[in-house]
Amino acid sequence: MNERRRFLQVVGSGAMAAGVGCTASVTAPGEGTGGNGAGGSGTGGSGTSSSSSSSSTASSSSSTTASSSSGAACEQSPVGTQIGKPTDYAADGLHIVTNKSVLVGRDAGGLYALTAICTHQSCNMAATDSQGPFGQISGTDIICLCHGSEFSASGSVVQGPAHQPLKALALALGCDGFLYVDTAKVVANTVRLQA
């Protein structure tokens, strides 16, 4: 654990010298705060490798974590699609990210991402066509306008015909200040990004 802290301090010092900093961290119930580890392989986590192998892992990975002076973390090269800044999702509840197959939610714990693909017949609730959107926010819920399925802000089914909840997706804050969602990486629906 001390080796990981030392590694983050070294990376953070380099980021501060370059003028890079941010104020985000990822949490899940029962975990401490911390960003995704080098390579984006998890939240918080503990290190078991030596400092020399940690350094080589960081230099060979496409994504590294930087620490600001407050100890919060951001990712230098986050994996995924850029979906805006945290201020774009300032209000609590769900937000449709148009034509990105993603919903962004904010609650007391922070920001999170859900797939916008309805689990009934794979309708993309974030898509639009000439006749309008395929999904509609109703209070804190989202309704699939294809067949009427309704999902809560956490992604659970409120009303069918869908039977499966929406999957939670990995969300990261880049050190450029933008949010990135990795639609290929499913996470626990309790994971939140504090940004």
- Residues of the chain scoring pLDDT < 50: 1, 5, 7-8, 10-11, 13-25, 27, 29-63, 67-72
Say which CATH topology domain 86-171 has: Rieske Iron-sulfur Protein (2.102.10)
Confirm if 179 and 84 have CB atoms less than 8 A apart: yes
Which residue, 180, 181, 106, is CA-closest to 137? Answer: 106
CA 28 from centroid of its chain's CA atoms: 12
The Cα 48–Cα 157 span in angstroms is: 39
Confirm if 166 and 124 have CB atoms less than 8 A apart: no
Res 13: pLDDT:
47
How is residue 155 written in tokens? 């992604």
Res 164: pLDDT:
94
Kind of pairing, strands 81-82 and 157-159? Answer: unpaired
Q: What count of other Cβ atoms lies within 10 Å of the Cβ of residue 194? A: 15
Domain chopping of the chain, boundaries: 2-77, 86-171
Res 162: pLDDT:
92
Residue 110 CA: distances (Å) to CA of 6, 96, 136, 137 = 27, 16, 22, 19
Confirm if 69 and 62 have CB atoms less than 8 A apart: no
Tens of pLDDT, residue by residue over 16-63, are 444 444 444 454 544 444 444 444 444 444 444 444 444 434 433 444
The Cα 25–Cα 75 span in angstroms is: 10
Res 133: pLDDT:
87
CA 58 from centroid of its chain's CA atoms: 21
State whether residue 17 is helix, strand or coil.
helix
